[in-house]
């Protein structure tokens, strides 16, 4: 597993918290972590797990993948792949079969261009997680895109 750059992660979290106009205590409460633990993460003294990063991302209304990149758990290319997949799956104008076909075409192009591993495999290897856990992270990312909350966007109105 890649070593975590918790100093940069902490600075990034503090910046995101301040941008969201949340106190340390408010973010800790929203994310379900203790105030001292969050303070230690922000000061670079603690290495949060992927689960904690996901909770913090949800509370900050940003994508968990962004925090994984900041923590060194995921590289930018993998984050972009994950977000591309999530956007395809969230499109309400195409049906499930069409979404799966698009994903297959996308994967075949990636494979043709030398990117054989899927984001789930890469995430699983880096996070030491099993396929089911990684699948849940991917589903959460897809849900965030559907809700319009990935990277701090406002929620989209429900489609009729």
- Residue 32 or residue 90, greater confidence: 32
Residue 82 CA to residue 101 CA, distance in Å, equals 16
More confident residue, 145 or 100: 100
pLDDT tens-digit series, residues 107-137: 888 888 887 655 555 555 555 554 455 555 5
Interval 47-73 mean pLDDT: 89
Residue 78 — very low, low, confident or very high, per pLDDT cuts 50/70/90? confident
Residue 159: the pLDDT is: 44
Q: Is 89 helix (H, G, I), strand (E, B) or coil?
A: helix
Looking at residue 2, what is its pLDDT?
A: 38
Distances (CA, A) of 48 to 79, 94, 95, 96: 19, 37, 38, 35
How do residues 131-157 score in pLDDT, each as one tens digit? 455 555 555 555 554 555 444 443 343
| Stated pTM of the model | 0.54
Q: Calculate the CA 55 to chain-centre distance.
A: 10
């Amino acid at each position: 597993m890649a070593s975590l750059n918790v100093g940069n992660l902490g600075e990034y979290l503090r910046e995101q918290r301040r941008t969201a106009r949340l106190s340390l205590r408010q973010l800790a409460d929203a994310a379900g972590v203790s105030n001292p633990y969050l303070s230690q993460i922000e000061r670079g003294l603690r290495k949060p797990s992927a689960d904690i990063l996901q909770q913090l991302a949800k509370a900050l209304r940003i994508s968990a993948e962004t925090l994984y990149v900041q923590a060194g758990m995921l590289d930018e290319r993998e984050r972009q792949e994950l977000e591309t997949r999530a956007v395809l799956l969230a499109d309400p104008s195409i049906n499930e079969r069409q979404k799966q076909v698009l994903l297959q075409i996308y994967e075949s192009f990636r494979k043709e261009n030398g990117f054989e591993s899927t984001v789930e495999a890469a995430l699983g290897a880096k996070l030491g997680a099993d396929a089911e856990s990684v699948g849940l992270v991917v589903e959460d990312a897809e849900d965030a895109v559907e809700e319009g909350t990935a990277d701090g966007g406002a929620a989209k109105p429900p489609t009729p």
